[in-house]
């Protein structure tokens, strides 16, 4: 029986798609630029590429937060300063916090059932801290551990080991739930922690459990 569940935040507990799009549009509207849906999709594609490069240890997080806007601004032909846009975007993003459907009730249920919980995220520290506070995640999580705090990003196993050490648990006591195969799956594998992929689109793999919603995750927890 598992004693604890570690969660990724964005795309697993939090609706990052909604936060990202809202913050992005607000950022450019500040400069009098209403983004089209095609431009929003372009940014999201660029952003995913840069975060994948971070997981592959090809770039630093500091590079990611600016380089994604440098590339995007070039693609849309804007002369805005990418560093200034990156700073404004993160400020807006830190104010946009939404649970994925069913997430809050699921966390309440786990808490009632005695599960210990924490979050492990590669997200920018001040952004994640503000969003966590806005949603009251301290009601559920013992802590939100960011890669900036510990100096390594997922899939480096050390961030998971540090989380378990803080909780006084062994790796077999915990389950990790995340939505990103590059950082979450590989990170859990590297750390030797059981993993479940949260994938609303229903991507299926025979190598590890995949759930599309919190009802399916609830069933997984019942049999572990």
Q: List the chain domain ranges.
A: 4-15+97-223, 16-94
Whether the full predicted model's pTM is greater than 0.75, yes or no, is: yes
Q: Catalytic: 8?
A: yes
Kindly give the interhelix angle for 61-76 and 82-94, rounded to the nearest 10 degrees: 110
Cβ neighbors of 91 (< 8 A, separation 6 or more) are none
Tens digit of each residue's pLDDT (9 = 90 or more) over 37-76: 999 999 999 999 999 999 898 999 999 999 999 999 999 9
pLDDT level of residue 207 (50, 70, 90 thresholds): confident
Of the listed 8, 156, 179, 184, which one is catalytic?
A: 8
CATH number of 16-94: 3.40.50.450, 3.30.1360.30, 2.160.10.10, 1.10.150.240? Answer: 1.10.150.240
Tens digit of each residue's pLDDT (9 = 90 or more) over 104-158: 999 999 999 999 999 999 999 999 999 999 999 999 999 999 999 999 999 999 9
Amino acid 204: pLDDT: 63
The domain 4-15+97-223: what is its CATH number? 3.40.50.1000
Token pair of 192, please?
């030797």
């Amino acid at each position: 029986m598992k004693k604890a569940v570690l969660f990724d935040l964005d795309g697993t507990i939090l609706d990052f798609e909604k936060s990202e799009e809202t913050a992005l549009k607000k950022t450019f509207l500040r400069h009098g630029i209403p983004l089209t849906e095609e431009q929003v999709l372009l940014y999201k594609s660029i952003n995913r590429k840069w975060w994948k490069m971070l997981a592959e240890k090809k770039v630093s997080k500091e590079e990611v937060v600016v380089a994604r806007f440098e590339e995007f601004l070039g693609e849309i032909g804007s002369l805005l300063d990418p560093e200034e846009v990156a700073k404004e975007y993160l400020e807006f993003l830190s104010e946009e916090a939404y649970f994925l459907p069913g997430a809050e009730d699921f966390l309440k249920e786990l808490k009632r059932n005695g599960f210990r919980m924490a979050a492990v995220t590669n997200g920018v520290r001040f952004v994640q801290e503000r969003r966590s506070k806005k949603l009251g995640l301290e009601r559920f999580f013992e802590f939100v551990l960011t890669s900036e705090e510990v100096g390594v990003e997922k899939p480096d196993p050390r961030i998971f080991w540090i989380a378990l050490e803080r909780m006084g648990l062994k790796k077999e006591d915990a389950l990790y739930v995340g939505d990103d195969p590059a950082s979450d799956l590989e990170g859990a594998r590297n750390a030797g922690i059981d993993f479940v992929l949260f994938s609303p689109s229903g991507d299926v793999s025979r190598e590890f459990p995949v759930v599309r919603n919190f009802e399916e995750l609830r069933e997984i927890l019942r049999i572990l």
